Amino acid sequence: MKLEDIRKGYEETSGTFSSTVRNLAISGIAIAWLFMTKAEPENLPLLLIGALSLFIITLFADLIQNYHLSITWYDYYTMMKDKFGKEENEDVKEPEEKNKWGWILYKGKLWTLIIGYILIVAFFVFFEIDKSVI
């Protein structure tokens, strides 16, 4: 297997992962919001507020990660093409150091999503839910 094949594989997988995380974060926001709107304003469950906050952070990290990686790759492309005169079909080394922050955000959005859902599960386990909501 070529190194190029490995790169293509993880790029495809990470794209699918990001799409799944985005959908799960939006679903988590909907779940938290649904139960928060049924609660009295003075009794808003902190677990749901925390989960909602983490889902919003997940979406924000996804946005920043995609922006960062897009800008990194664009800058690298223009640098190779304009500064070093590389042609479209020439081999170049990937800017691994510049991608580090993108991967940190990639991992971070996974953990904020997981912790958000743990808070929602904790809410369902530890608090009695008004049956009329369901």
In a domain, 37, yes or no: yes
- 3-state secondary structure at position 76: helix
In a domain, 19, yes or no: yes
In a domain, 49, yes or no: yes
Note down the domain range covering 69.
Answer: 3-126
In a domain, 134, yes or no: no
Q: pLDDT averaged over consecutive 10-residue blocks of the chain (134 residues)?
A: 66 86 96 85 85 96 88 82 76 76 91 97 79 49
Q: Which residues of 57-95 are buried (b: 16+ CB within 10 A; e: fewer)?
A: bbbebbeebbebbeebeeebeeebeeeeeeeeeeeeeee
- Asked whether 109 and 61 are in contact (CB, 8 A), the reply is yes
Total count of domains within the chain: 1
In a domain, 79, yes or no: yes
In a domain, 132, yes or no: no
In a domain, 67, yes or no: yes
Q: Quickly count: other Cβ atoms within 10 Å of residue 37's Cβ.
A: 10
CA distances from 11 to 8, 40, 51, 95, 109 (A): 5, 45, 29, 14, 17
Q: What integer pLDDT is reported at residue 134 of this predicted model?
A: 47
Radius of gyration of the chain (CA): 20
